[in-house]
Chain A
Amino acid sequence: DTAVSQTPKYLVTQMGNDKSIKCEQNLGHDTMYWYKQDSKKFLKIMFSYNNKELIINETVPNRFSPKSPDKAHLNLHINSLELGDSAVYFCASSLRSGGVYNEQFFGPGTRLTVL
């Protein structure tokens, strides 16, 4: 059983295009995240989404927008793609309950290449 899944695994596209990456978790978690991992393996939080509350990392361009149709899904939409958007994007989820911080489970990643 897949805990956190992402589609597609690879995405190659041209500059200026709009694309979406989908994420689904079947863990019953209430919080989901998007991370960007650059070519140097640096892992940086982009968004966290909990009970319809979106927390945005201020360094993320507004071309990036997360969309959550329900608690099990958090998709990432990217407008006007740029070369610098090339990276691996990871979705993750966790359960935030009673103020206790719990393990984040990561998806397998989506490698985005912008040409």
Chain B
Amino acid sequence: GENVEQHPSTLSVQEGDSAVIKCTYSDSASNYFPWYKQELGKGPQLIIDIRSNVGEKKDQRIAVTLNKTAKHFSLHITETQPEDSAVYFCAAKHGGSQGNLIFGKGTKLSVKP
């Protein structure tokens, strides 16, 4: 089955700096890669996603890149703000159109003012 590895598990940055979180997946058939942000006491919320026919996608301060050959994808947050502090999860869709999301183990991002 699919396996998603996520690094680092914790990340601390100064406000205004950039943050990068990396994930690798094992199943070359996976074709959808979302990123979720989970704030304390809340459910995960989608912040950006990318499909396998695209190499990069950007939405304001966040961007995601996908390297299908290497089977890895990354989340980039620029000009970080304290409200970016949360746990971030990458995921990969496995098993065709009826497949489920397999999540990475999460990265706790702390942005220090």
A43 touches B103 (CB 8 A): yes
Q: Is the interface of B mostly helix, strand, loop or mixed?
A: strand
Supposing A101-B93, A103-B34, A104-B101 touch, asked if A41 and B43 sit within 8 A by C-beta, the answer is no
Binds B, one of A13-21, A63-71, A73-81, A105-113: A105-113
User: B5 to nearest A CB, angstroms?
Assistant: 12
From A40, A43, A50, A99, B44 is in contact (CB under 8 Å) with A43
Which of A48, A55, A101, A106 has the most chain B CB atoms closer than 10 A to its own CB? A101
Chain A, residue nearest B31 (CB) = A101
A108 touching B101 by the CB < 8 A rule?
no
Residue in chain A with minimal CB distance to B51: A101
Which B residues from 31 to 52 make CB contacts under 8 A with A? 31-32, 34, 36, 38, 41-46, 49
Inter-chain contact B101/A50, CB cutoff 8 Å: no
Report how far A42 CA is from B31 CA in the complex, Å. 22
Q: Which residue of B lies closest to A50 (CB)?
A: B98
Option from B32, B41, B45, B100 in Cβ contact (under 8 Å) with A106: B45
Cα(A108)–Cα(B32), bound, Å:
24
Q: Is A44 an interface residue (CB 8 A)?
A: yes
| B residues less than 8 Å from A48 (CB atoms) | 100
Main secondary structure of the interface of A (DSSP, over half): strand
Does chain B have a CB within 8 A of A45? yes
Chain A residues near B (Cβ < 8 Å): 4, 33, 40-45, 48, 50, 55, 90, 92, 96, 99-101, 103-109
Nearest-neighbor residue (CB-CB) of A90 within chain B:
B43
Inside 8 A of A92's CB, which chain B residues have their CB?
43
A41, B106: Cβ atoms closer than 8 Å: yes
A4 to B36, CA, bound (A): 16
Q: How far is the CB of B69 from chain A (nearest CB, A)?
A: 22
Distance between A29 CB and nearest chain B CB, rounded to angstroms: 14
In the bound assembly, the distance between CA atoms of A57 and B29 in angstroms comes to 19
In the bound complex, do residue B105 and residue A40 qualify as a contact, i.e. CB atoms below 8 Å apart?
A: yes
Nearest Cβ on chain B to A11's Cβ, whole angstroms? 15
